[in-house]
Chain A
Amino acid sequence: MLLINNLSKTFRGGITAVENLSFSVEPSRICGILGPNGAGKTTTIRMILNIIEPDAGTITLGGEPITEDSKNSLGYLPEERGLYKKSTIEHTLLYFASLKEIPPAQARKLINPWLERFNLGGMGKRKVEELSKGNQQKVQFIAAVLHNPDLLILDEPFSGLDPLNQLLFKDVVLDLQKQGKAIIFCTHQLESAETICDDILLMNKGHAILNGSLESIKQQFTRQTLMIEFDGNGDFIHNLPSVSKAFVNEGKAEVELNQGFTSNDLLTEMLPHVQIRSLEKATPSLLSIFTSVVGAENLTTEFLSQIPNESK
């Protein structure tokens, strides 16, 4: 769907915002773009939206290079929330739809189902300023999806929402995914990225540091390390065929397996000797992957300060 190849952008004054960036977003997949402020996320998005021109590289949407025309098949929810305060919901949505060249009659038909989906049924005539912040965010979201875009770019769609509305938004996003939309999901919230994204692009200082499906990334970083708790003497573990390395303590062992062995092999070998209380495979979180890849010293302090808050 969206294919980005060797994209670079340097601003006047020599600030390189994006350098040699390549990634792709496929239909029915959610690609999370993650990274600290200044990583080049906004510049990348603006280039996809054809708001600014790249210095080098190509962006194609459905096989075609992006032009002004492709704006009609893009939907964008920016991070900052804002709408025309004095206008009604309906007028606002009709205006944004008209800019995507949706005829008013058709847009009117599309508005109500969306309002109802977001529990705003019958509120079309209300002025935006009369709505709560969460409801304004819903209107903004509808404005981004009303014209049924092929590619949807959501920048922090869940921030500032109460838990109930977060669930609602997440549901809607997953629905859109099922309908075959390609979705770009920008966020600082590593946890929500972990639960919703199929693919991950981690950016830092204009570069892609990590890119691929969430699964493959996790696999790549899953240490083949098991934590086992048991009753009895564990000295024998060192000599088991499946074990390459082991640290054995009283009733506890941290075991690294040999190539080709699984946790089941280890269990079968251990069962005759001791009573097993628990076995845990150490799966790394995105946070631990990120810190190990980027190196904590390379992340801006701003990003680091967000990590503990949002992974609580």
Chain B
Amino acid sequence: MKINKLLMVARWEFTEKIRTKAFLVALFLTPLLTGLFSVLPTLLATKESKETKNFAFYDGTGQLLKSAQELLNTKYKLSTGQPMYQLVPTATEASSEKVVEVYKKRVLNEEFTGIFVAPAGIEKDRKLTYFSPNVANVREIERVGNAIENVIIESQLKKNNVDITKYREISKSVDTDLIKITKDGKNEESDFLKQFMGAYASLFLIIILITTTGQALVRSLLEEKSNRIMEVILSSCSSKELMFGKLLGLGGLGLVQGGVWGILGIGAATYFNTGFAIANLPIILLYAILGYLFYASLMIGIGSTATTEQEAQNITGYIIMLSVMPFMFIMALLENPNGTLAKVLSYIPFLTPSIMTFRISVQTPELWEILLSIVVMLISISIVIYLSSKIFTVGILSYGKRLTLAEVWHLMKSRG
């Protein structure tokens, strides 16, 4: 293999692609989208409404509404000082079914957010019913429900001559402050949200980086194959020089991309004061490079057998599905970043880079785990590169008919 030809291929891939609009767009659009995807949902979910929400309230007991409203008013206020939730009493002469029937229309007209029905027997069977076109705003339903529960409990206590203020004192809930312990001994104030955002963003970026660069690799390969530049190139250099040149050139491109994103990430992390530790960046970068090498060599090998854009998309699609699998485990990993699940997933080469990146941003694993995962990656990469280069040599020259699985299997077994 001639290194200078390999470098020529690498330089070409790098300089020609870095000039394209698509690259520049991806460079700045992706972090923007990442920001949106990781920050926006949490922001929106925690953001309080600015308007008072009106609920129709059927009070079968005739005693709940007033105290519940008072309780809600003290607990939940808008920034304007207005109550956040307003319980509007309905007529109680008719049966609850009839009332609901009438108020349904008003709910649909958006006069009310929903209807609460507290039947006369609620003190005994503790059954509250909520009618609304949207029953997913769990938080509000729970708040009103809790208020009613409180009122019922307190009225029961009163009936049993228990001191309410004493009860309140006793049943006061525990508030947990979150302090993250870091390796350097400093205590860091943190909360779930910040923790989640930092880890989620790095996971998201590393996956995007790996998959987009891998896809770019397959696309450039397919372009050369379909317009037969491939043959001209192969009349000038060997298939191995071509393959490694491409891996290197597009890897360099990915590094530029990752570098820019890293800087933006640090900027954002400092600005929003999230729990993202800058000290973790070098190791995350290392995992990004390993992940790229693994996925890119996998894609270049399998992708070389594609003969049309469609086929290439199918192939890269499946591989990308593998790479986004860690998203399924996010919650479990957050809950227990050093649990058995996290440990097992960390050594599956398809998942290692993203899982480890995620774990490192949540709670740095032991050094031996990091080293072992790196060794696992290096071995897997060597195997993938070895097999891919065999497929690549034949794949890039096959036109019209895609290599069958049997043929690919044969190639992988062949020597040379």
Contacts and interface: CB of A to CB of B under 8 A. Distances in A.
Are A and B genuine complex partners?
yes
A99 B231 contact: no
Contact of B16 (A46, A84, A101): A84
B12 A95 contact: yes
Contacts of B20: 86
Nearest to B16: A87
B227 A83 contact: yes
A96 interface: yes
A46 B394 CA distance: 12
A69 to B, nearest CB: 9
A77 B231 CA distance: 9
B78 interface: no
A78 B4 contact: no
B187 to A, nearest CB: 53
Interface string A60-83: 000000001001101111111111
Interface in B229-255: 229, 231-239
Interface string B1-39: 010110011001000100010000000000000000000
A261 to B, nearest CB: 51
Contact of A81 (B4, B227, B233, B236): B227
Q: Which of A51, A84, A101 has the most CB of B within 10 A?
A: A51
Interface in B393-416: 397, 407, 410
Contacts of B235: 49, 51, 71, 74-76, 153
B8 A78 contact: no
B229 A99 contact: no
Contact of A95 (B8, B226, B234, B410): B8
B223 to A, nearest CB: 8
A87 B223 CA distance: 13
Contacts of B224: 82
Given A82-B226, A91-B16, A99 B8 contact: yes
Interface in A74-123: 74-84, 86-87, 91, 95-96, 98-101
Of the four ranges (under 10, 10 to 19, 20 to 34, 35 or more), the interface on chain A belongs to 20 to 34
Contacts of B239: 51
A96 B224 CA distance: 13
Interface in B369-391: none
Nearest to A51: B234
A7 B9 CA distance: 31
B237 A71 contact: yes
B229 A68 contact: no
A51 B8 contact: no
Of the four ranges (under 10, 10 to 19, 20 to 34, 35 or more), the interface on chain B belongs to 20 to 34
B143 interface: no
B231 A78 contact: yes
B8 A98 contact: yes
Contact of A68 (B227, B228, B238, B407): B238
Q: Is the interface of B mostly helix, strand, loop or mixed?
A: helix
Interface string B334-360: 000000000000000000000000000
B16 A51 contact: no
B243 to A, nearest CB: 14
B397 A96 contact: no
A156 B237 CA distance: 23
Contacts of B12: 95, 98
Nearest to A80: B228
B231 A12 contact: no
Given A86-B16, A98-B8, A80 B234 contact: no
Contact of B2 (A49, A68, A82, A91): A68
A22 to B, nearest CB: 22
Interface string A162-173: 000000000000
Contacts of B229: 82-84
Nearest to B227: A82
A77 B8 CA distance: 20
Given A12-B410, A51-B397, A101-B4, A143 B232 contact: yes
Contact of B237 (A77, A83, A99): A99
Contacts of B5: 99, 101
Interface in A1-57: 12, 46, 49, 51-52
B238 A96 contact: no
A173 to B, nearest CB: 18
A144 interface: yes
B225 to A, nearest CB: 9
A100 B236 contact: yes
Contacts of A91: 16
Contact of A96 (B16, B226, B232, B410): B232
B153 to A, nearest CB: 72
B234 A12 contact: no
Given A51-B397, A79-B228, A82-B224, 15 more contacts: A12-B407, A78-B228, A81-B227, A82-B227, A83-B227, A86-B16, A95-B8, A96-B236, A98-B12, A99-B5, A99-B9, A99-B237, A100-B236, A101-B5, A140-B232
Interface of A: 12, 46, 49, 51-52, 68, 71-72, 74-84, 86-87, 91, 95-96, 98-101, 140, 143-144, 153
27 contacts: A12-B407, A12-B410, A46-B397, A49-B231, A68-B238, A71-B236, A71-B237, A75-B235, A76-B235, A80-B228, A81-B227, A81-B228, A82-B227, A82-B228, A82-B229, A84-B229, A86-B20, A95-B8, A96-B232, A96-B236, A99-B5, A99-B8, A99-B233, A99-B237, A101-B5, A140-B232, A143-B232
